């Protein structure tokens, strides 16, 4: 079981690296006006998205395996953590939509929007770590 925990943590690190960096690339891409820079960011964003998707799929897969094989019944804190994972998956999909908009040359968002978006995974990470380490019992 500890091997699965280690694998899960490695996938989480890979996923979060992408979740932290891709919106930052969007900040820079939104302020780029030259064609070579635009192409460079498109390529970087696409490659990073592939890597972070591997991390996300690995995180969700190994996390579900751990949850289904470790806890019976699911503790309340785990329900809350799984809710945060859903938020991250939705964030990941939103990043994919932004990636598509940039790739098609139709991004309508400002660098400021992407700066704010860049804070979402940090807040979710803080909440997830607190849940896993403190394992609070909600309402009971």
What pLDDT, on a 0 to 100 scale, did the predictor assign at position 139? 61
Which parts of the chain sit beneath pLDDT 50? none
- Any domain includes 81: yes
CA angle 6, 8, 14 (to 5 degrees): 105
Question: How far, in Å, CA of 111 to CA of 81, rounded?
Answer: 30
Residue 106 φ/ψ, nearest 5 degrees: -125, 25
- Any domain includes 26: yes
- Any domain includes 67: yes
- Any domain includes 113: yes
Span 10-50, pLDDT tens digits: 999 999 999 999 999 999 999 999 999 999 999 999 999 99
Are 22 and 49 a contacting pair, CB within 8 Å? yes
Question: How far, in Å, CA of 88 to CA of 15, rounded?
Answer: 10
- Any domain includes 139: no
What pLDDT, on a 0 to 100 scale, did the predictor assign at position 128? 97
Question: How far, in Å, CA of 42 to CA of 44, rounded?
Answer: 6
pTM: 0.94
- Any domain includes 140: no
**Sign for the pseudo-dihedral over CA of 87, 135, 119, 96:** negative
Domain containing 42 equals 2-134
- Any domain includes 102: yes
Number of domains, the chain: 1
């Amino acid at each position: 079981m500890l091997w699965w925990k280690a694998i899960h943590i490695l996938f989480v690190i890979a996923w979060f690296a992408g979740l932290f960096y891709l919106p930052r690339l969007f900040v820079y891409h939104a302020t780029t006006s030259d064609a070579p820079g635009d192409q460079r960011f498109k390529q970087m964003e696409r490659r990073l998205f592939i890597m972070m998707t591997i991390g996300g799929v690995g995180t969700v897969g190994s996390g579900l395996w751990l949850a289904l094989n470790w806890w019976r019944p699911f503790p309340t804190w785990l329900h809350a953590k799984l809710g945060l994972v859903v938020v991250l998956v939705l964030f990941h999909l939103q990043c994919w939509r932004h990636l598509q908009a940039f790739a098609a040359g139709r991004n309508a968002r400002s660098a400021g929007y992407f700066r704010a978006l860049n804070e979402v995974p940090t807040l979710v990470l803080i909440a997830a770590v607190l849940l896993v380490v403190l394992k609070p019992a909600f309402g009971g």
